[in-house]
Amino acid sequence: MQTQSNKRNESPYAPRMRRQALGKTEALLEEEARRAYRDGRTPRRQEAMVSQKKKHPVLWGIVALICLILLVSLALFLAPQLLGVRYQTLPNLAFTGEGMIAMNEETLSSYRAQRDAVMSTAFYDGIVVDGISLGGMSMQEAREALAATEAAGGGGFSVMVRVGDRNYMVDDTMVPLERNVEEVLQRAYSLGRENTIVSQTGMTPMMERWNAIQNLADTGMTLETTLSYAPETIREITDQIADVTYQAPVSSQVASFDMNSLVFSFTEDQSGRQIDRERLYTDVLEAIRRGENPGMIEVDVEEILAPVTKAELMNSFGKISSYTTTTTSNANRNTNIQLSAEAINGTMVGSGETFSFNRTTGQRTVEKGYKEATAISGGQNVPEVGGGVCQTSSTLFNAVARADLEIVTRSPHAWPSSYVAKGMDATVNWPGLDFQFRNQTDWPIYIVASYRNRKITVDIYGHLLGDGISIDLESTVVQTIPAPSGVKEVLNESLPHGTRKTTVKARKGYVVETYKVYSQAGKEVRREKLCTSTYKAYQETVEYN
């Protein structure tokens, strides 16, 4: 039932497809049968072949013999080339890219000689290092030969440096040396061994090297080893020689100042000496490079002139500035001025030092001879021991400013003084109120102060300003401050009853600017502001009881 059902459901083309498949199968079986017969795999074909062999045994034997002869001949022909076998009577043949060649005994002998030379591990003939012929030596033998030469005196150096009457030795015991023996030997060994590829000349690498070896033997090649050392070590040695040789020049200086003759004395200047350290370094290097052993270098010593000579100072020192003020007829006051002038007289202020009026005079006391005289305190004229010394400090201020020294501390009085122009006074009071200046020059200065005939003079001695320069002071009142109006009355119970006393007079105030005026040959060249002084205005004050 199922078969019939399948037949009912199959394609109408199915019978034809089955017939085609059956035809192909029959054709394949027939082709396989023909192949089997042709290859002798069928019984009938095998019987036919055996029958043919039995009919021609001689013929097959001849064929086998011919093949054997051909194989033996081929082996004999190729043996010299493949196995290295040489025939004494038969020709030795070989194939090349250009055909077949026959071996030549003379050519072979020449080839072997060239091969042995090229493949040698020794140095080739014609190579000379440091005067030693290395041909035929091994690398170790060459090292030993060069080492023996160096030990016999072929290395090291010695250079004598003569500076004036002193000698200095620079040699290889002071400078670690290293000779480039290994580097040069490697270069020498590479000679004749350079090429490793076929060149464009058509020659083989071995022929190229053989020609190079022959050329090397004919023309030769000379190499030299060199010494190497640390240049910085040479620099250290030559710098030490330069340092030992160097002598700094000594400038002339102020030796003393005679307060009686007002004359300076000076020390003698001394020249220095030096050598050209850079030239010494290069000369020593050049002597080492030339291989001088021993070498000699003569070094010139150069004189160094002193920056400041005695002759220059003798013409450059003297009185820099001077200022004089006139005192009053008050004997006590004049005594105080004289004592303070004597206290500062002869004072030396070194370069960079600061002068203090209070420190130099000390406290003005009766024990020192100072007397009571009028002084300004609290806007009033009051009796005070040492009164009047402000005139000394003011005179000093004017001299110092005209000597172009640096003003450090200066204060004006409560009101303008009668002995100097406004803005040109300098008040002092123990211990807080001081006058100070600094010597900013390179040379010492000396203060010469004297009192005579109601005049106090302060001179500053030192290095002159030079070029005809002089300094003067000018003051300008930039503001006037009116005195307060009216009278200020103050009760003072210490006064007798019904007494009135004027203690502060009415005074105007001022603001004053003071300038330093620089002149050259009597003509002003510049001016600069020195200070500003403010004088307070005072209201009249009356005390009563």
Q: Are 345 and 479 in a shared domain?
A: yes
Query: Do 461 and 320 form a contact (C-beta atoms < 8 A)?
Result: yes
Strand order in the sheet with 487-491: 487-491, 540-544, 500-504
Give me the pLDDT at residue 291, please: 67
| Beta bridge mates, 162 | 167, 298
Q: Domain for residue 357, yes or no?
A: yes
Q: Domain for residue 95, yes or no?
A: yes
Q: Are 241 and 303 in a shared domain?
A: yes
Token digits of residue 459 = 């001179």
Give me the pLDDT at residue 328, please: 93
Q: Are 322 and 345 in a shared domain?
A: yes
Rounded CA gap, 130 and 149, in Å? 9
Token digits of residue 141 = 């033998």
Give me the pLDDT at residue 29, please: 62
Tens of pLDDT, residues 446-478? 999 999 999 999 999 999 998 889 999 999 999
Q: Are 229 and 283 in a shared domain?
A: yes
Q: Are 242 and 361 in a shared domain?
A: no
Q: What's the predicted TM-score (pTM) here?
A: 0.60
Give me the pLDDT at residue 468, please: 87
Long-range contacts of 27-36 (CB under 8 A, 24+ apart): none
Token digits of residue 185 = 């030997």
Q: Domain for residue 489, yes or no?
A: yes
Q: Are 356 and 418 in a shared domain?
A: yes
Q: Are 182 and 73 in a shared domain?
A: no
Query: Do 460 and 447 form a contact (C-beta atoms < 8 A)?
Result: yes
Rounded CA gap, 344 and 428, in Å? 14
Give me the pLDDT at residue 57, please: 74
Give me the pLDDT at residue 68, please: 87
Instruction: Give me the domain span that covers residue 81.
Output: 59-103
Query: Do 136 and 124 form a contact (C-beta atoms < 8 A)?
Result: no
Q: Are 21 and 167 in a shared domain?
A: no
SS3 content of the chain, % helix, strand, coil (to 5): 35, 30, 35
Q: Are 510 and 381 in a shared domain?
A: yes
Rounded CA gap, 450 and 322, in Å? 11
Give me the pLDDT at residue 5, please: 47
Q: Are 127 and 256 in a shared domain?
A: yes
Q: Are 148 and 272 in a shared domain?
A: yes
Token digits of residue 342 = 């004597």
Q: Domain for residue 139, yes or no?
A: yes
| Single-letter amino acid code for the residue at 271 | S
Bond prior to 294 in cis (omega within 30° of 0): yes
Give me the pLDDT at residue 134, please: 87
Q: Domain for residue 111, yes or no?
A: no
With a cut of 50, which residues of the chain have pLDDT below it? 1-7
Give me the pLDDT at residue 3, please: 47
Q: What count of other Cβ atoms lies within 10 Å of the Cβ of residue 319?
A: 14
